[in-house]
Amino acid sequence: MSRFLFAMWEGGGTVPPELGIARRLIARSHNVHVIGDPTIEPAARLVGASFTAWHDAPHVTSLGPEDVLVRDWEIRNPFKLFSAMRDALLCGPTGLFARETLAVIETGQPDVIAADMVLIGAMIAAEKARVPQAVLIPNLYPLPSKGRPMIGTGAMPARGPLGRLRDAAMAGIMRRLFDSGLHPVNEARRSLGLPPLDHTFDQPARADRMLVLSPEAFDFPGPPLPSNVAYVGAQLDDPAWAEPWNSPWRSDDSRPLVLVGFSSTFQNQLALLQRVAQAFVGLPVRGLITAGPALAGQTVQAPDNVAVVASAPHAEVMPHASVVVTHCGHGTVLKALSHGVPLLCLPMGRDQVDNAARIVWHGAGIRLKGSATTAAIKSALQQLVSNSRYRDAARALAKRIRKENSRDCAIEEMERLAAVGRRL
C-alpha cells in the first residue's frame, strides 16, 4: 500500500477526473488524502479519501457566484482576466498553498504528491519535501509547445509560415504573462530554501511526471511533448452530486434525444441556457437539460419536449443521446465523444474554445459563439440531428478513445512514482 496526497482546487470540471484517479487508487488498496476547497470534501470522502481543507490559501465554500475567486464572466479584456486569475489563484497565493501543503506532507508522509496544474505552491512543497510528484492536467496540455496553437486562443493548427508565426507570437505572449507572476513564485521558493526560477512555467516542468487527463486522439497532432509528459486517456467519472436518472419518456419514444449540459461552476450561463431551451420549440426531438449546481434556485423555461433537471449522470444518458449541447467543458466533451455523440459547442471561456476547436477539427460537431441566437442554435441542432457525417466522425474518434482507455495509464503512472517514493 502506498500513500498519495492530492492537492486540488474547486475548478468544477477539474474535480471528477482527479477524484476518479483517487477512487481507483483506493480500490487498489492505496491510501489517498486530499487537500482542497471545502466544496470538494463530500466527493473526496465518498470515494474513500481522507480530507483537509485549505485554510489560509484561497478557496470557495460553495459553487454559487457569491463565492467565486474571480468573476470571469464580468471581465471582457483577456489580459485583465489573466491578471485577476494570476493574482487570485495562479501565482499570487503560491506561498500560502506551499505552506499548507507542506504541513500535510509532514503529517501524512506521502509517497507521491499529485498536484493540480494550477497549484504551483503544492508543486513547490513537493520539491522541498523531495517527494515524487505528478502534475495533473485535467484538460489539454497548456504549456507552449512547438507545432501546436497556444491554449486559450481557440485556434486551429497552423498552416504555413504565417500560422507558425502566429503560434510563436502567442506562445511568447503567454510566457510573458505568466512570468509577470514569477515574483511571488520565487518568493515562496526562497522562503523554503529553494533556488529561484527563470520562468514560471519552469515549476510544473520540474515535476517527475505531467499527466494529461485526456486521450491523445482528441488533441491536435504535433511534435512529441517533453519526456515527462504523458497522455493517460479520458477520465470519465461523473461528479458526486449527479442525481439518479429516470427518463420521463416512454420506452418506445423514438425521437432523438438531445442532452444539454453546461458548466458546474457559475459562468452566468442562464441566458444562454434559456436560448438553447427555446431552440427546441418545434423540433421533433426530446431535450434533457441538466442545469447543474451553479444554477440552483434559478429556473429555465422550457417547451413541452424538454425536461429540465438539476443534474443527471451523463455517463448513463450519453449512450441514448443523438446530440450533446454544451459549453465545451473538457469532461462533458470527452463523455460525449467516448460514446460517439456529436456536439453543438457554445464555449463561454476558460479552456472551452480550445476543446471546441478540436471537436470541429475532428468533424464531430459545430461551434457557435456563446452569444448565438436561438435561431442559430436551432439551425445547428437540425444539422447535427439530420446529417450523419457528424455522428460518423464522433464514432470514429470514440474508437480511438476506447483504445487508449484499454489500459489505466493514470494508475500505472501513479504506482510507478509510488515505487520510487517508497525507496526514498
Average pLDDT over residues 66-72: 85
Report helix, strand or coil for 307.
strand
- Residue 77, pLDDT above cutoff 90: no
Are 260 and 273 in contact, with CB atoms under 8 Å apart?
yes
User: Cell numbers of 421, please?
Assistant: 517514493
Quote the mean pLDDT of the chain.
92
Q: What is the average pLDDT across 333-359?
A: 93
The Cα–Cα gap between 217 and 195 comes to 38
Q: Which three cell numbers stand for residue 75?
A: 471581465
The three grid cell numbers given for residue 373, joined into one nine-digit string? 441566437
Strand 3-7 relative to strand 31-36, pairing: parallel
pLDDT attached to residue 423? 65
Q: What is the pLDDT of residues 16-37, one digit of tens each?
A: 999 999 999 999 999 999 999 9
At residue 368, the 3 state secondary structure works out as coil
CA dist., res. 290 & res. 140, Å (int): 24
Give just the sign of the alpha carbon dihedral 222, 228, 232, 237. Answer: negative
Element (H, E) at 345: strand 343-345
Which residues make up the CATH 3.40.50.2000 domain(s) of the chain?
3-236+406-423, 257-404
Q: Look at residue 115 and give its three-state secondary structure.
A: strand
Q: Report the alpha-carbon distance of residue 220 to residue 145 in Å, rounded.
A: 12
Angle between helices 15-27 and 330-338 (to 10 degrees): 60
Q: pLDDT per residue over 88-135, tens digit each?
A: 999 999 999 999 999 999 999 999 999 999 999 999 999 999 999 999
- Alpha-carbon distance of 338 to 332, in angstroms, equals 10
Give the pLDDT score at 40.
Answer: 96
Average pLDDT over residues 386-393: 96
pLDDT beyond 90 at 292: no
Q: Which grid cell is 409?
A: 495509464
Helix residue ranges, H only, 364-408: 374-386, 388-404
Q: 10 Å Cβ neighbour count for 281?
A: 13
Residue 151 has what pLDDT? Answer: 86
If one looks up domain 3-236+406-423 in CATH, what number appears? Answer: 3.40.50.2000
Percent of the chain with pLDDT over 70: 97
Within a 13 Å sphere around the CA of 3, how many CA atoms are in the beta-carbon half?
A: 13
- 257-404: CATH topology: Rossmann fold (3.40.50)
Task: Give tens-digit pLDDT for 30-68.
Answer: 999 999 999 999 999 999 999 999 999 999 998 888 888
Q: Which of 94-108, 142-156, 285-299 has the lowest mean pLDDT?
A: 285-299
Rounded Cα distance, 241 and 237, in Å: 11
pLDDT single digits (tens) 210-247: 999 999 999 999 889 999 999 999 998 888 777 888 88
pLDDT at 410 over 80: yes
Say if residues 149 and 220 touch (Cβ distance below 8 Å): yes
Q: With bands split at pLDDT 50, 70 and 90, how would you rate the model's confidence at 81?
A: confident
